[in-house]
Amino acid sequence: MDFSLTREQKDIVKAARKFARGEFPDRAQEFDREETFDLSIWRKACELGFVGVFIEEKYGGAGYGFFEHCLINEEFWAVEPGIGFAILATTFGAELLSLYASEAQKEQVLPRLVEGEAIMGTAITEPNAGSDVTMAETTAVRDGDHWVLNGTKMFATNGSIAHFMLVFCKTDPEHPSRHKRHSFFIVPTDAPGYKANKLHGKMGIRASDTAELVFSDLRIPLENLVGTEGDGFAELMAFFNHTRLHICAQAVGLARAALEEAVRHIKGRVQFGKPLADFQATQFKIAEMATRIRASRNLYYEAAWLADQGRIDHGLVAMAKWYSAQTAVTCADEALQMHGGYGYIDEYKVQRLYRDAKILEIYEGTKEIEKTIIARSVLK
């Protein structure tokens, strides 16, 4: 059993770390405060080959696996989560296209994502449909040679800046199985009837774009259906088994950043005549953080490696996502605690990490959903 990265993977990690450390720190606080992002950084990341590495070479990608995408995620988030998410989420939805889209659809969308010519997002959640995606009410109805979409989506990543959105819609409301009522569609955001309302005041990852979407008699060609009509739920579950791995890598990166901030602070902060790092209580916190990070990384490494072998382990993916997200939240909390009052003001990076961490336990499947999946995999 070999846990080491290949030389090529080590080079990817090194390059991603160098890019992030060179580009992110000077703008991080600005983007967080202003809830904005400079797309020139994304375009530079595209030029250097960091975006869409899991996309096949014939569509302009590097042809690597999802594991390599995770490695880049971890390094970006270890420097600045908000910027890391804003860059790598520009291909959010390409994972599903890679699995289910037609050749024509892939040729239309994927090269533009890799080359920095287009941004993609995904719209699944609705005001009354979160964890239970089968409750999604946005409809897609056939009308001649078009689909007509009506409905509202919430928390749509890149909703107000994307060129294409991957949208989960109800296509067969009367089907006896609630798992066969939905389908996915590629929706160009310049289509009449598409309206995006950017959401403001997010707790964390504020450099990224999140929006409410409203579809009003939006018409798209029949060929914009992705995969098989009625198989949207099954396709979504397969999609999540890949994107949840990205969240694991994000979590490990953030936890690393929290540990780094904590170590820097406790080595320099003197209380009761000696550095905080000399106190056993503080050392125990550091020990627990480092152990959690290593365990979380091992979980996602195994799950991502299996995914790239075509051997998805649903229970293992859920374990990795739940545990790594909890690790990120725990490490951010402990790091802020060790900073004391200084951790509570925005001049210190640790308070931003604390805010950024919580979303990891929510998006792509809440911690409660992940535990349910884990339990079912054990009890089946």
Active centre residues (catalytic): 364
**φ, ψ (nearest 5 deg) of residue 63:** 75, 20
- Measured in whole angstroms, the distance separating CA 86 from the mean position of its chain's CA atoms is 9
Cβ proximity of 106 and 97 under 8 Å = yes
Work out the widest C-alpha separation in the chain, in whole angstroms.
79
Q: Give me the DSSP letters along 48-111.
A: TT-TTTTS-GGGTS----HHHHHHHHHHHHHH-HHHHHHHHTTBTTHHHHHHH--HHHHHHHHH
Q: Quick one: which H or E segment has residue 197?
A: strand 194-198
DSSP output for 268-298: H-EETTEEGGGSHHHHHHHHHHHHHHHHHHH
Asked if 149 contacts 139 with a C-beta cutoff of 8 angstroms, the reply is yes
